Amino acid sequence: MDRVFLVGISVAGISETFDLTELGRLVKTASGKVVGEKIFKIHRQNPALCIGKGQAEELAAIVADLKVSTVVFDTELKPRQQRNLEKMLSAGIIDRTRLILDIFARSAHSEDGKNQVELARLQYILPRLAGKGVAMMQQAGFIGVRGPGEKQIEYDRRKIEKRITVLKRKLKTLAKRRKLRRSKRIKSGIPIIALCGYTNSGKTTLLNALTKARASAKDRLFETLEPLTRRTKIFDRDVIFIDTVGFIRNIPPQLINAFHSTLEEIAPASLVLVVLDASDPAVKPQKKIVDETLKELGFHKIPRIYAANKSDKEKIFCSAGCVKISALYKRGLEELKKHIYEAVM
């Protein structure tokens, strides 16, 4: 397995308390093994290296010492910074955007999802093309860039631009089809409940617990990329549940479209059921990101219920205003159903 070192950047003045837990989980999801991490304090970004020259030298020593194969930066790197760092550290350099793109590529199964991810990937590659307009990219995943004998594919600018046009056209057609399906669902008059929340909070597990769905729920970020719809009964009434892609802080700009198109499915919902991982110490900032994203998308007027999931765990960090549940052990679900029933009937 690939040996990964995490790097955080803390810019002086912007007193952002940095935490690399989430980045570590993203790396784990991409099958990388984290062997260490460090946060570098900087005053401003060095245009050539992002971090300072001395810091880069320090990092090079760590990389050699720990036999690190890939360094993952919790920020977006300029193409030049990435190239320089790769040379200086003799290790693969991956930024946050590229990491998330890789994970998305693994999670996309539908035609729509695959097209969205390919488009986002090409949009990421385009400004990173080297001199002659050619970029070499690993075909299978970005982690493990230095893996021996891995297949490389060549991209050139003209081909990429052409492909981007084709993909955009395809996605438009698919969006129309989705819209049609959605309007059918609305016409049926059955209340729609959208499951929203940070990635890995337990949305899919809850969907499975509330309906007869057998969707894949795993301890991996972005296991669900395409919205999944299931019809079921809450007491005597029919309802439709929609499982959506998980939220995350700082969504890479290339992925915002992919995100938004899957989140469009929330629009006709009568209720947003926010699933929080109450056992995560970062539950509060995560709740804030969910609230902000819903607002950005214009869904803040849809009534909302908060479920504090994983409350079976020993330490719980939120409860006020939340319905305490455990989707995994099917606890608190009757209480939750009562709340849902009252909200949508």
In the three-class reduction of DSSP (H, G, I as helix; E, B as strand; rest coil), residue 132 is classed as: coil
| Interacting partner of 261 out of Mg ion, ligand GDP, none (Cβ under 5 to 8 A depending on kind) | none
Instruction: State in angstroms the smallest separation of the CB of 209 from ligand GDP.
Output: 8
Return the structure tokens found at 70: 């890939």
Q: Which residue from 143, 126, 123, 144 is spatially nearest to 135, judged by alpha carbons?
A: 126
Distances (CA, A) of 77 to 8, 48, 128, 341: 12, 10, 10, 47
Q: Would you count residue 309 as binding ligand GDP (CB under 6 A)? A: yes
Cβ proximity to Mg ion, 81 vs 262, nearer residue: 262
Instruction: Name the one range near ligand GDP by CB under 6 A: 140-148, 166-174, 217-225, 263-271.
Output: 217-225
Shortest distance (Å) from residue 217 CB to Mg ion: 6
Does the footprint of ligand GDP cover residue 343 (CB under 6 A)? Answer: no
- Give the one entry of Mg ion, ligand GDP, none that residue 310 binds, where binding means its C-beta sits below a cut-off of 5 to 8 angstroms depending on kind: ligand GDP
φ/ψ of residue 57, rounded to 5: -65, -40
The minimum distance between CB 116 and ligand GDP, in angstroms, equals 18
Q: Is 324 in the site for ligand GDP (CB under 6 A)?
A: no
- Minimum CB separation of residue 28 from ligand GDP in Å reads 12
Which residue in the block uniquely carries the two structure tokens 């035609």? 111
Q: Name, in order, each residue with C-beta under 8 angstroms of 325's C-beta and a sequence gap of 6 or more.
A: 206, 307, 308, 309, 311, 331, 332, 333, 335, 336
Which residues is 228 bridged to in the sheet?
243
To the nearest whole angstrom, how small is the minimum distance from the Cβ of residue 236 to ligand GDP?
26
Neighbouring-strand partners of residue 276 = 308
124-132, 142-150, 180-188, 194-202 -> range binding ligand GDP (CB under 6 A) = 194-202
Is 196 in contact with 290 (CB distance < 8 Å)? yes
* 123 touches ligand GDP (CB under 6 A): no
Residues 188 and 178: their CA atoms lie apart, in Å, by 16
Report the residue number whose CB is nearest to ligand GDP.
202
Tokens of 293: 């994203």
Among the residue ranges 68-76, 83-91, 153-161, 203-211, the one whose residues contact ligand GDP (CB under 6 A): 203-211
Residues in contact with ligand GDP by CB under 6 A are: 197, 199-205, 217-219, 223-224, 246, 309-310, 312-313, 326-328
